[in-house]
């Protein structure tokens, strides 16, 4: 995978750019398994209420395809997961 970072000053644009990449999938099935495991383990630390927030459902499909969104509006645990996945070369 060729690393790419797309930067935007706008949270809305940041998420819009990511969702526009629906036809791109950078991860193998094995990588998707690792991404899902890391994500599920992190989300299990959240309260039931927080784990049902819309952003939780929106971010996993992107992460599975190797696409990450990182901005100040995300829950800290989501930012941490994205940073871990980035460090492991999974996004």
**Alpha carbon distance 60, 64 (integer Å):** 6
Residue 28, burial from CB neighbour count under 10 angstroms (0-12, 13-18, 19+): exposed
What pLDDT shows up at residue 64? Answer: 95
pLDDT band at 72; cut points 50, 70, 90: confident
Residue 70 carries which DSSP code?
-
**Mean pLDDT rounded to a whole number for the chain:** 90
Domain residue spans of the chain: 29-87
Average pLDDT over residues 68-84: 91
Share of the chain above pLDDT 90, in %: 59
The answer to whether residue 1 scores a pLDDT higher than 60 is no
DSSP assignments along 15-37, one per residue: HHHHHTTTT-----HHHHHHHHH
């Amino acid at each position: 995978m060729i690393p790419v970072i797309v930067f935007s000053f706008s949270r809305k644009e940041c998420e819009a750019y990511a969702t526009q990449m629906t036809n791109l999938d950078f991860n193998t099935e094995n990588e998707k398994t690792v991404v899902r495991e890391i994500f599920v383990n992190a989300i299990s630390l959240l309260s039931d209420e927080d784990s049902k927030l819309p952003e939780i459902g929106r971010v996993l499909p992107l992460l599975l395809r190797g696409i990450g969104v990182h901005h100040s509006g995300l829950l800290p645990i989501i930012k941490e997961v994205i940073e871990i996945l980035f460090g492991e070369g999974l996004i």
